[in-house]
Amino acid sequence: MIFPLPTKYFMVSASSDGETELNAFDGALLNSGVGNTNLLKVSSILPPNCSEIPPFNFKEGSLVPIAYSSITSSICDQIISAAVSIAHPIDKKSCGVIMEFHDTDSKSITEERAEFMAEESMKIRGLGVKKIQSVSSEHVVKKNGASFSGVVLWT
């Protein structure tokens, strides 16, 4: 196993504008607190018994497992948003589900869609939902914009 099973998580979200879409994405990562790390995109499962912790600063260059949503655009005045939602199980011994969604709409609509998908994924698994947690970001593009939201998984 490359990484031990995560036991902790925290949520991050930010947006940015930049000279290029990639620079805007980099700015959103920096603004969210995970910009000087190597993100390892993971699929959408919150391991059993995971507990939320406050965000912290990683050593620069750390490998960071994260489920995330992002969107970039170069269309001036366009609204872009990214959201992640966690559906926590009633039974802490079961896994939870993280859903990521992005769109060219308000963060409230994007977050609502991510929450719906998280609840639906729990239904598919036959698991009851104890609570839903969500975080989202919204950005109005000036030159090149990015919106980013994620769930960092840690040990």
Judge whether 147 and 15 are in contact, CB under 8 Å. Answer: yes
Catalytic residue status for 57: no
Give CA–CA dist 155/7, Å, rounded: 5
CB crowding 115-140: b at 16 or more within 10 Å, else e: bebbbebbeeeebebeebbbbbbbbe
Give CA–CA dist 23/83, Å, rounded: 20
Report which of 8, 33, 30, 150 is spatially closest to residue 84, judged by C-alpha positions: 150
Catalytic one of 16, 85, 100, 136: 100
Catalytic residue status for 111: no
Catalytic residue status for 108: no
Catalytic one of 32, 44, 144, 149: 44
Return left, alpha or beta for 113; rule: phi > 0 is left, psi -120 to 50 is alpha, else beta. alpha
Q: Compute how many other C-beta atoms are within 10 angstroms of the C-beta atom of residue 34.
A: 23
Residues annotated as part of the active site = 38, 43-44, 100
